[in-house]
Structure 1
Amino acid sequence: MFNHIINARKRLKGHANHTPVMTSGTLNKLVGADIYLKCENFQKMGAFKFRGAYNSISKLTNIEKSKGVITYSSGNHGQAVALVGKMLKVETTIIMPRNAPATKLAAAKGYGAIVIEYNPETQSREDIALKIQEEQSLTMIPPFDHTDVIAGQGTATLELFDQAGPLDMLLTPCGGGGLLSGCAIAAKGKNPDCKVIGVEPALADDACKSFKTRMLHTIKNPETIADGTRTTSLGKITFPLILENVDDMVSVSEKQIIQAVQFLFFRMKIVVEPSGALGLAALLNKKVVLRKKIGVILSGGNIDAETMRLILKS
């Protein structure tokens, strides 16, 4: 799988942003280690999801591209698929929850996607997508449980190692596990001794429970502010990859997530959505046993004005 990530990096060259790595003396002093923040909030469409979407859609045959693609997403993956579709002239259909952040819904529509909204309390996004896929012969590009998507996401960590040098530890947000599994494989491929930690909201800790029990757990519609992690469970592909390549999983509270977003805004002057700040939240609250040189994936910056207002006033 590591070679798939290497090939994905070649495919993404010239298309994905080479996002910056930021450091902070204040943060290093607070934590007691050297911290390197990989700023995927500066990726195209504002999140790491562009990497997996581009890698998977660009590999489709011309016939598959001509028929179009479909996906389901709480926001960032939908935006990414929509943008890649616009770039590659592929028609895209996105199944998104009605309660997705308004900015994410608007962005997907703005990129030209056909957006179908659903009620997450009563409907299954997967069932809706599969029905439309069969009716229209579309290609499914799922948000995380797809080898090409996983390989694309892992390129963020390859870049981080190139920019920061060898790392002793990597902290990565976890929703469905596409980013975590891809980055874990990349980190272990670059340094087998690098300790990889996945971070989830405590209100959506299905992956933590799955990791620790080695049995797949599910949580339906978790009410966490970190909307990018509101997946029901890990996937059939991502779960075994995480068991094989991740060293530990930890969770953080809603208050700790909010404080991490505030730190990034007030101290480092960068906007990161709650899902993207999970790794930093774990560090600031001593959820992990520190190593000297630590990488943190800030996975995205797509946050609506109302959520940001509430966070900054907290």
Structure 2
Amino acid sequence: MSDSNPGNEGSSPIRLAAIEQARKLLDGVSACTPIESSASLSAVVGATVFLKCENLQRTGSFKLRGAFTRLAALSEAERKRGVIAASAGNHAQGVAFAARELGIECMVFMPVGAALPKITATRGYGAEVRLAGEDLAQSIDLAKAEAATHGYIFIPPFDHPDIIAGQATLGLEVLEQVPDVATIIVPTGGGGLLAGVASALHLSGSGARVIGVQAEGAAAFPASLAQGMPVRLAKMATLADGIAVPEPSELTLGIVRDHVAEIRTVSEEQIGEAMLFLNERAKLVVEPSGAAGVAALLGGAEGLEEPIVVVLSGGNVDTLVLNRVLQHGLVAAGRFMQMIVRVPDRPGSLVTFLTALAETECNVVSVEHERTSSGLAASEVQIGVKVETKGQDHQVEIISELKRLGYEVAFPALEQA
């Protein structure tokens, strides 16, 4: 899948001159985001790792790069028509910000379930926001229909050379910040950022391997690459809304096929663990999609040459989602556990059980004492507890000790915030 002839412009629809021109356009608009070395992540995976902190970009994600590049290329007549876009949030903010800076009227369609902070931010940049569509695919279709009816210029989230050239400027920055980079890991939805980074490295003559990462519940690239054409997912299910795209385009698929080494997928649990790791160890707030690269790296760095750069593609996360995902991350990391036990309904049973828990050195967060649950005998009480633990081994010790004392332990599904 990867290209073996770096620096050959003839095999790429994106030109190095276009990327360099985009970088000039973005001077003073987007930031050259920092690359942070991560001693903690390097120690965990056994390789030198750097984090490209695009979560610290203006508007909170890389999307500003491509959006501004595309809008800046519009003719005066096109600018007067106004622009329209569809997005779950990051592209919306990038387009809205760019339109404001360039004096262009802007409308954005967002799915009805879009995160409130992203909606608020998009409106704050001056765009008219319409909440329509159950998912991003429907919002895109509605935006395109509105554009056709009223003459707006549709700004795609990834399917345009200008968009890809703008995103590719991130790749040039990585090459300057870590000249000897051997592997770059990129969160991936429709493939605009992945195609841009891969193009920048290929056209600059770098031999670094580029790896795309998708959420398991929204991974359109594997099937599309296998069939040699964009394959639309029938459904998507992931908290990583920034990379929840039902299919790549012909443009991004072709670049990824030619210049990307591999595509990996990560589970929701892995994404949660990555967000928790970044929050606790790197002191960085990153949205679920932005943490996908770290999730893949935590899943295994075998075969990856170092130094490794992982792109943190965005930091626009709803506080409620952050709380829920971090809670799931704590569970996956063995730091939080819920359990239910049944004990005889007699004085002292609750105290005896909690004393047993205390002796395992876990921290009890909450206790529910229930006498009327379905299935309980008249002589029983159900006790539900949430505890903080020290890892998977500690949890095994706790459960083993409770079973040794005669308790039958059950584990309910984690409550959704």
TM bin (shorter chain): over 0.9
Distance 1:166 1:65 in 2: 41
Q: Secondary structure at the match of 1:4?
A: helix
Q: Please tell me whether residue 172 in structure 1 is matched to residue 147 in structure 2.
A: no
Within 1, Cα distance between the matches of 2:92 and 2:102? 15
1:180 Cα deviation from its structure 2 partner: 0.5
SS in 1 for 2:19: helix
Confirm whether residue 161 of structure 1 aligns to residue 175 of structure 2. Answer: yes
Q: Provide the C-alpha distance between the structure 1 equivalents of 2:112 and 2:308, rounded to a whole number of angstroms.
A: 37
Aligned residue for 1:124, secondary structure, equals helix
Kept in 2, the 8 Å contact 1:282–1:288? The answer is no
2:116 is the alignment partner of 1:102 = yes
C-alpha displacement of 1:221: 4.3
Kindly state the Cα deviation for residue 182 of structure 1 after the two structures are TM-superposed: 0.5
- Cα distance in 1 for residues equivalent to 2:75 and 2:326: 46
- 1:3-152 aligned within 5 A: 3-120=17-134, 124-152=138-166
Aligned residues of 2:191 and 2:256 also touching (Cα < 8 A): yes
Q: Which runs of 5+ in 2 are unaligned?
A: 1-13, 329-417
Kindly state the Cα deviation for residue 271 of structure 1 after the two structures are TM-superposed.
0.4
Any residues of structure 2 matched to 1:223-234 within 5 Å, and which?
A: 223-234=237-248
Q: Determine the C-alpha separation between the residues in 2 that align with 1:288 and 1:209.
A: 24
Offset at residue 288 of structure 1 (A): 5.5
Structure 1 residue 289 displacement after superposition:
2.0
Amino acid at match of 2:232: T
Matching of residue 308 in structure 1 with residue 332 in structure 2: no
Paired residue type of 2:150: Q
After TM superposition, the structure 1 stretch with the greater mean CA deviation from structure 2, 157-166 or 46-55, is 157-166
Comparing 171-180 and 23-32, the one that deviates more: 23-32
Of 25-34 and 259-268, more deviation after overlay is shown by 25-34
The residue identity in structure 1 corresponding to 2:270 is Q
SS in 1 for 2:88: coil
Q: Deviations over 1:204-236 (max 9, x none)?
A: 111122224434322144110111111110012
May I ask how many residue pairs the two structures share in their alignment? 314
Specify the structure having the higher radius of gyration (Cα).
Answer: 2
The whole-number CA distance in structure 1 between the counterparts of 2:155 and 2:318 is: 25
1:216 aligns to 2:230 (yes or no) = yes
SS of 2:250 mapped into structure 1: coil
With over 3 angstroms needed to count, the CA separation of the structure-2 counterparts of 1:189 and 1:122, relative to structure 1, is closer
- Aligned-CA RMSD value: 1.6
Structure 1: runs of 5 or more not aligned: none
Using a 3 Å threshold, how does the CA distance of structure 1 residues 250 and 122 change in structure 2: closer, same or farther?
closer
User: For 1:98, what is the secondary structure of its paired residue?
Assistant: coil
> Sequence identity, in percent?
39
Q: Which residue of 1 aligns with 2:216?
A: 202
Change over 3 Å in CA distance of 1:36–1:287 after alignment to 2: closer
Q: TM-score, normalised by structure 2?
A: 0.73
Which region of structure 1 is more displaced relative to structure 2, 49-58 or 200-209?
A: 200-209
| Structure ranking higher in helix proportion | 1
CA contact (8 A) 2:87 2:136 kept: no
Kindly state the Cα deviation for residue 287 of structure 1 after the two structures are TM-superposed: 6.1
Deviates more, 1:112-121 or 1:8-17: 112-121
Q: Which has the higher contact order (CA 8 A, sep 6+)?
A: 1
Alpha-carbon deviation of 1:102?
Answer: 1.2
1:267 alignment partner, one of 281, 284, 289: 281
Partner Cα distance (2:160, 2:167) in 1: 11
Cα offsets for 1:176-226 (capped at 9, x unmatched): 010000011112223442111110011111112222443432214411011
Superposed CA offset, 1:84-113 (max 9, x none): 111111110101101111111111111111
Sort the Cα spacing of 1:303 and 1:169 in 2 relative to 1 into closer, same or farther, 3 A. same
Q: Residues 211 and 249 of structure 1 are in contact (CA less than 8 Å); yes or no, is this contact kept in structure 2? A: no
Is the 8 Å Cα contact of residues 120 and 221 (structure 1) preserved in structure 2?
no
Contact 2:111–2:135 (Cα < 8 Å) also in 1: no
Structure-1 separation of matches of 2:148 and 2:311: 36
User: Do structure 1's residue 279 and structure 2's residue 293 form an aligned pair?
Assistant: yes
SS in 1 for 2:314: coil
Q: In structure 2, the residue corresponding to 1:196 is in which secondary structure?
A: strand
Q: Taking structure 1 as the reference length, what is the TM-score of the superposition?
A: 0.96
Measure the CA separation in 2 of the matches of 1:56 and 1:123: 21
Q: Does 1:243 align with 2:257?
A: yes
Amino acid paired to 2:148: E
1:248 alignment partner AA: E
**Is contact 1:166-1:190 (8 Å) kept?**
no
What's the offset of the Cα at 1:74?
1.3
